[in-house]
Amino acid sequence: MTQIDSQTDTRVRDLNDRLRQHRIGGRVVMTRGVAALEPHMIHKINQAVRAFDAFTPDNDPYGEHDFGSLTVEGHVVMFKIDAYDLDLQYASPDPTDPNVTCRVMTLMLAEEY
């Protein structure tokens, strides 16, 4: 991996973490399955996703912190972060640049995958 690749991965990871942990720099959406849960469960899921730090080379091979799976009170929940262009039609032309990127984190139940 070159120095540039390492810097790119670090920048993408930092921007993904910013969205996941602080809800800054993008949008958070949820599937119908998550939305159908009781409000207190949605809150617990949001808190667990914010605190998630179990990234390993197996579940995060590129070091971008763009996916995770966790269990909250028996519900297996997954989150996925994607980087789109500002019109949300195509992939971002540069996922390291927040000026041309809209990140979208989707929260879903594993059974909906």
Can you give the pLDDT at residue 113?
87
Can you give the pLDDT at residue 57?
92
How many domains, in total, are found in the chain? 1
Q: Which domain holds residue 49?
A: 3-112
| Integer Cα distance of 105 and 52 in angstroms | 14
Residues of the chain with pLDDT under 50: 1-4
Helices (H), 1-113: 3-22, 32-35, 39-51
Can you give the pLDDT at residue 4?
47
Average pLDDT, the chain: 94
Angle, CA of 28, 42 and 104, to the nearest 5°: 10
| Integer Cα distance of 53 and 24 in angstroms | 18
Can you give the pLDDT at residue 46?
98
Can you give the pLDDT at residue 67?
97
Can you give the pLDDT at residue 36?
98
Can you give the pLDDT at residue 5?
63
- pTM as predicted: 0.91
Q: Label the pairing between strands 26-30 and 102-109.
A: parallel
Can you give the pLDDT at residue 8?
73
